[in-house]
Amino acid sequence: MGDKKSYPSRRDAIKKLFKGTGYLGISGTVLGSLATGLAANKLELRPPGALEEKDFLKACLKCGICVEACPYDSLILSKVNDEAGLGTPFFRPREIPCYMCPEIPCVPVCPSGALDIRKLQNVSGDLNINKAKMGLAVVHKETCIAFWGIQCDVCYRACPLMDEAITLEYDKNERTGKHAFLKPVVNGEFCTGCGLCEHACVTEKPAIKVLPIDVATGKVGDHYIKGWDKLDEKRLNSSGKGQQQPEGNKDAIDYLNDWEDLIDE
Amino acid sequence: MSSMLYNHRFLIGRRLVQIGLLILFFGGNYFGWKILTGNYSSATFLGEVNLSDPFALLQVLFSGFIVATDALIGGLIILVVYSLIVGRAFCSWVCPMNIVVDLAGWINKKVGFSKPKIDFGRIAKLRYYVFALILLLSAILGFAVFEMISPIGMLHRNIVFGFGTGIIAVVAIFLFDMVARPLSFCHHICPLGAFYSLVSRYRMLKVFHKVEACTKCNKCFAVCPEKQVLSIVGKRSGSIVSGECTNCGRCIEVCDDQALKFSILKK
C-alpha cells in the first residue's frame, strides 16, 4: 500500500476495504468482549431507587457521588474482580447492610438518573425508603437453625419491617413433641433487600441472604390468572395480550352456525 | 530560579490544576468537602452545579438512555467551555492521565530508550476510528463502553476511592509509553481526546504565531505532543487552528523568539 501515487486499482481498493473491515472486526471484538466482561453484574445489590439493571448500566456515570453520600459506607464502587460492572456502586449486606436512612442521602444526589428518586416517593412526594427494592431475602432452611428447632429470631428482630417483611411461622416440633418451631418467612411484597437480616444472621455463612430481585423471583406469565381476585384481571388487561378480540363478542353458538363466513373467500 | 519558573509557567499551572482537582475529588470522598465531588465523567461543583463529560453522555445516548436533566445541563456547560472557549485543554490541563503519560515520556527521554519501532504514522487518525468504534459498540452492547474501560476513570477511582480498583490499564499505558512510544494512548487512541479535537475547531483561546519573529529553531516541534498542529510555524503568521491542539503552552514556554503566544479571538 502507498507506493502508488495514482488512483488505486479496484483490486487495491477492495483489498483495503477488507483489511479495514478486518481491523474493525478485530478491535471491535476485543474491545467489546473486554468491556462486556467488565460490565457483567453477577449477584451484587444496587443502591435504593436504582433503575432496572440493564438501564442502570447505561445510565450510571460511575461518579461515586452516591458512595460519598452514604453515611455508613455501605455503598462501594466495584473493582475489577467484584463483577458488579466496573466502577458502579453496590453493597454487600454481610459486610455493611443498607441502614435505610429515612432521608435517603444517596439517591437525590445522582446526576444521571441511574438512581431514581421517584421510585422512593409516596403519592404525596414524601420520601419513603420502605419502597426500596434493592433485593429480596431468601432463607436456606437446611442451614437456618430456627428450622432445626433451635430458638433464633435474630433476622426477624433485625428487620426494619418486622412482622411485615419477615414474619415468624409457628409450627409444632414433632421430634420433641413439646417444643415449637419459630420459622422466619420472608414476604416479598414488603422486603426491601436492605440486608440487615443477612448482616445479623448468626450462622457461619448466612442462612438468610439477599439476592437481586431478578435472580430471586419467578414470573407467572399471562396464562395463569387468579380468577378469585378482581385486581389480578388487570394484570392480564395491562399486558395487552389478553385483550378480547371484537369477534369474541359473538356468542359461541352463533359462530358455529355462521359457517358461511368461513367458506366465503 | 525565577527564569526557570517562568520558563515552565504553563507546566506548573497545568500540574497545579491537575493535582488540585484530584485533591478536591479526594477531599470530597474522604473529608466530605463539597467543592467538587464525583469523577471526570460527572461531577458536582459546590454541591449544586453538575458538570458532565459530553462524550460520556453521548455514549449513554448511543446506548439508548437519556440522562437526567442535571447531567444534561452539566454536559452542555462543559461542552461550551471546551469547544467555544479553551479548546482541547481537558487533555493537558485537567486529565490525570496527562501526569502519568508525561512522566513516562520524561523517563523515556532521560533514559534514552531507542527510537520507536512501531510506525504510528500510517494510523495518525486512529483515535477517530476508535471514537466511532466506541459509539458503535455502545449502541450494540447497550452501555457506555469507553466509560467502562477508560484508564482516566480507573486512575481517578484508584486515587479517590482507594487503591486496588484496577490500575492495570494505567500501568500498561505508562510502561508502553516509557519503553516503546511516548504519547501512544493520548495521541493515537484516546476517543475522549478525539471528541474534544472534533469540537474544538472554533475555540476562542488559540496559540498565535508571528512568523517575523521566528528563527526556525524547531524547538516547538520537539516539545509539541501533537506536532501536526504546528504546520504554519516558520511559514506564515496566524493562529493554530486545529482542534487537536491541547493549548498546553509547551511551545510558548520553549520559544526564545517570542514568536508564539496565547491569543484570544485572533484569526
Amino acid at B195: F
| A41, pLDDT greater than 80 | no
Element (H, E) at A28: helix A10-39
Counting residues of chain A whose pLDDT is more than 90, the rounded percentage is 57
Q: Cα(first)–Cα(last) distance of chain B, in Å?
A: 35
Enumerate the β-bridge partners of residue B209: B238, B260
Distance from CA of B98 to the nearest CA of A (A): 20
Q: Which residues of A touch B (CB under 8 A)?
A: 2, 24, 27-28, 31-32, 34-36, 38-39, 54-55, 57-59, 61-65, 67-68, 76-77, 79-80, 85-87, 109-113
d(CA B70, CA B66): 11
**Longest Cα pair distance anywhere in chain A, in angstroms?**
99
> With an 8 Å Cβ cutoff, are A111 and B71 in contact?
yes
Where exactly are the structural domains of chain B? 2-199, 205-264
Distance of CA A18 to the CA centre of its chain: 43
> Residue A220 — pLDDT band, cuts 50, 70, 90?
confident
Q: Give the Cβ contact number of residue A244 at 10 Å.
A: 8
User: What b/e readout covers B18-47, taking b as 16+ CB neighbours within 10 angstroms?
Assistant: beebbebbbbbbeeebeebbbbbbbbbbee
Q: Which of A38, A64, A110 sits opposite B149 (nearest CB)?
A: A38
Counting residues of chain A whose pLDDT is more than 70, the rounded percentage is 86
Suggest the residue from A3, A19, A68, A90 to mutate for an interface test with chain B (most B CBs closer than 10 A).
A68
Amino acid at B29: N
Length of chain A: 265
Burial class (CB in 10 A: 0-12, 13-18, 19+), A99: middle
Contact of B68 with chain A, judged by CB distance below 8 Å, is answered with yes
> With an 8 Å Cβ cutoff, are B164 and A55 in contact?
no
> With an 8 Å Cβ cutoff, are A31 and B32 in contact?
no
> With an 8 Å Cβ cutoff, are A80 and B166 in contact?
yes
pLDDT computed for residue A143 by the predictor: 96
Domains by residue range for chain A, with CATH: 41-132 (3.30.70), 135-219 (3.30.70.20)
> Which residue in the block uniquely carries the three cell numbers 419513603?
A128
> With an 8 Å Cβ cutoff, are A64 and B168 in contact?
no
pLDDT computed for residue A6 by the predictor: 65
Work out the average pLDDT over B57-73: 91
Three cell numbers written together for B47 = 454541591
Q: Which of A24, A32, A112 sits opposite B141 (nearest CB)?
A: A32
Q: Which of B68, B148, B161 sits opposite A38 (nearest CB)?
A: B148
Work out the average pLDDT over A162-177: 93
pLDDT computed for residue A1 by the predictor: 46
> With an 8 Å Cβ cutoff, are A111 and B68 in contact?
yes
Nearest-by-CA chain B residue for A65: B38
Mean pLDDT of the residues in chain B: 88
pTM: 0.83
DSSP state of A181: E
CATH 3.30.43.10 assigned to B205-264: no
Three cell numbers written together for B3 = 527564569
pLDDT computed for residue A125 by the predictor: 86
Residues 146-205 of B with CB under 8 A from A: 147-149, 153-154, 157, 160-161, 164-166, 168
Q: Which tens digit of pLDDT belongs to each residue from B181-191?
A: 788 888 888 99
Distance from CA of A125 to the nearest CA of B (A): 18
| A169, pLDDT greater than 90 | yes
| B103, pLDDT greater than 90 | yes
Q: Give the Cβ contact number of residue A236 at 10 Å.
A: 15
> With an 8 Å Cβ cutoff, are A35 and B141 in contact?
yes
d(CA B93, CA B31): 25
> With an 8 Å Cβ cutoff, are B142 and A54 in contact?
yes
pLDDT computed for residue B205 by the predictor: 93
> Which residue in the block uniquely carries the three cell numbers 527510537?
B115
- Of A186-200, B1-15, B121-135, B223-237, the poorest mean pLDDT is in B121-135
Nearest-by-CA chain B residue for A25: B133
Phi, psi of B258 (to 5 degrees): 55, 35
Q: In three state form, how does the secondary structure of chain B look?
A: CHHHHHHCHHHHHHHHHHHHHHHHHHHHHHCCCCCEEECCCEEEECCCEEEECHHHHHHHHHHCCCCCHHHHHHHHHHHHHHHHHHCCHHHHHHCCHHHHHHHHHHHHHHHCCCCCCCCCHHHCCHHHHHHHHHHHHHHHHCCCHHHHHCHHHHHHHHHHCCCCCCCHHHHHHHHHHHHCCCCHHHHHHCHHHHHHHHHCCCCCEEEEECHHHCCCCCHHHHHCCCHHHHCCCCCCCEECCCCCCCCCCHHHHHCCCCCEEEEECCC
Q: Are the C-beta atoms of A69 and A115 separated by less than 8 Å? A: no
> With an 8 Å Cβ cutoff, are B74 and A24 in contact?
no
Work out the average pLDDT over A109-129: 92
Q: Are the C-beta atoms of A115 and A50 separated by less than 8 Å? A: yes
Three cell numbers written together for A73 = 459506607
| A138, pLDDT greater than 50 | yes
Counting residues of chain B whose pLDDT is more than 90, the rounded percentage is 51
d(CA B225, CA B231): 13
Q: Are the C-beta atoms of A91 and B171 separated by less than 8 Å? A: no
pLDDT computed for residue B180 by the predictor: 79
Amino acid at B225: P
What are the chain A neighbours of B136 within 8 Å (beta carbons)? 28
Three cell numbers written together for A182 = 419459630
d(CA A234, CA B140): 35
pLDDT computed for residue A227 by the predictor: 82
Number of A:B CB contacts under 8 A? 129
> With an 8 Å Cβ cutoff, are A35 and B137 in contact?
yes
> Residue A2 — pLDDT band, cuts 50, 70, 90?
very low
Rg (alpha carbons) of chain A, rounded to whole number? 28
Mean pLDDT of the residues in chain A: 87
pLDDT computed for residue B10 by the predictor: 94
> With an 8 Å Cβ cutoff, are B129 and A24 in contact?
yes
Distance from CA of B172 to the nearest CA of A (A): 15
What are the chain B neighbours of A110 within 8 Å (beta carbons)? 68
pLDDT computed for residue A241 by the predictor: 58
| A171, pLDDT greater than 80 | yes
What are the chain A neighbours of B29 within 8 Å (beta carbons)? 64, 67-68
Amino acid at A121: Q
Tell which phi-psi region holds residue B85, choosing left (phi > 0), alpha (psi between -120 and 50) or beta. alpha
Interacting residues of A264 by C-beta distance below 8 A, sequence separation 6+: none
Amino acid at A134: M
What are the chain B neighbours of A54 within 8 Å (beta carbons)? 142
